[in-house]
Homo-oligomer: A and B are copies of this chain.
Amino acid sequence: MSLAVESKPDVDHQSTYFRCISGCSAKHSIFDVIYTCPTCGSLLEVYHEREPLKKKNAYQWQQLFDSRASTSKWPFGSGVWGMREWVVPSLADENVVSMFEGNTNLFWAERLGDQLGVPDLWIKLCGNSHTGSFKDLGMTVLVSVVKQMMAQGSSVKAVACASTGDTSAALAAYAAYAGIPAVIFLPAGKVSTAQLIQPVANGAHVLALDTDFDGCMKIVQEVTKDDSIYLANSMNSLRIEGQKTVGIELVRQFEWEVPDWIIIPVGNLGNISALYKGFKLMLDLGLINRMPRLVAAQAERANPFYTAYKNGFAEKVSVTAQDTLANAIRIGDPVSYAKAVKAVQETNGIVEQATENELAEASATADLTGMFTCPHTGVALAVLKKLIDRGEISSKDKTVVISTAHGLKFTDFKVGYHESTLDGIDSKHANPAVHLPADASAVKDEIARRLEQHNG
């Protein structure tokens, strides 16, 4: 990884901007401190005009991205910045805040696929990464844009979010790498140091407020009003730009072959929106000629998107999200609803849900074939099984499951499962240690017994 830098991207920098997804005509610079449409309050998206990108043909883009994926030249070794012309073309080299994110393991789930009857099964292990979740992909973009804002004399002095999970971990790490202060808001007394240890260790300013999570969000929004602190929460559409690379990357890893299905766990709905956005860009530029079918996998205890889908997306549904093992997708009122509806509708997609027991069993079953899955990946795997069982996914289909975080971030879930102490969970595959005397013959007998079970 040398520091030599390729020549600047040959894409017009004025052709990438924020635009309102509700169709307002105004364009805004992505270096402006705005999070929603100033006119109508809708979500923004980073739009890339297609014409300037068509100066290269599909094959040229594929060759370029392929060549960079193998390079050690900074920052192209990053899965995100290897596609910089499609992400933030106007970002100066010196403002790229990259920790070599992306290029994650596209794992051939050979044994699990055989067991399920879909041998062409792949798991995109986004959690085998710097901070242990896919959030790195979005935060490298957001923090890089902030670095450029600050270099250009913006009023921004710090970045902030209200989160107790992967988002705060990724924000704090990227901010630390860039030397930009980060502020994390959370409700006092409800979050342990262990839950927050990544932002704490990365030196974020962690504020525990005497209120609940919604109260924290209100305070964050008030504090960030004067544009001195940049909000990194999920309505910020810059993060989508980084996250969209995961779809492009996995198609590249398949030598530009499009899988039939991609199953992704969803809560706030930003990640499936990002996935769709990456595929749509590839389709428009001719790198692919069909879309995969996108499947949104929800926890039954936090299923507003599933409910809306069942109603034919007649209207947005909000629910009071209940406790779920899949706590990172415990969202009752998803921010990126409108974008996600488009993602499902335009890919002939499906929304399905999984119970607590289903997600726990799916996770445990996958682990037995060499993985170490987080509960959200369990949701996606449980949905995979349902779609196979009812014949939607066939044995010839190429299917990818997006694994969003490393199981090492969820050891309590794993321990609870294998100690059979999770409420309402059967723990059918619990694998407790076997207590034996220190006697070789007793040990040999026990091993022989289990081997017989294994072979029988």
Contacts and interface: CB of A to CB of B under 8 A. Distances in A.
Interface of A: 1-3, 66, 69-70, 72, 74, 99-100, 105-108, 110-111, 122, 125, 128-132, 157-158, 173-174, 176-179, 181, 183, 186, 188, 193-194, 196-198, 200-211, 215-216, 219, 222-223, 229, 253-255, 364, 367-372, 406-409, 411, 414-415, 417-419, 429, 431-440, 443-444, 446-447, 450-451, 454
A131 to B, nearest CB: 7
Contact of A209 (B196, B211, B443): B443
B201 A418 contact: yes
A382 to B, nearest CB: 17
A443 B201 contact: no
Nearest to A221: B440
A91 to B, nearest CB: 17
A431 B201 contact: yes
A292 B334 CA distance: 53
Nearest to A176: B370
Nearest to A189: B435
Given A255-B72, A418-B193, A440-B222, A433 B105 contact: no
Contact of A208 (B196, B254, B436): B436
A74 B255 CA distance: 12
Contact of A193 (B198, B364, B419): B419
Contacts of A446: 205, 207
Nearest to A197: B414
Contact of A443 (B202, B219, B433): B219
B128 A130 contact: yes
Nearest to A225: B440
Number of copies: 2
Contacts of A437: 209-210
Most chain B Cβ neighbours within 10 Å, of A201, A206, A444: A201
A253 B1 contact: yes
Given A201-B418, A202-B367, A435 B208 contact: yes
Contact of A176 (B173, B211, B369): B369
21 contacts: A1-B254, A66-B70, A99-B107, A158-B451, A174-B370, A181-B450, A188-B435, A193-B418, A194-B415, A197-B415, A197-B418, A200-B414, A200-B431, A202-B370, A203-B431, A205-B447, A209-B438, A210-B437, A223-B443, A223-B447, A408-B409
Nearest to A111: B179
A446 to B, nearest CB: 7
A9 to B, nearest CB: 21
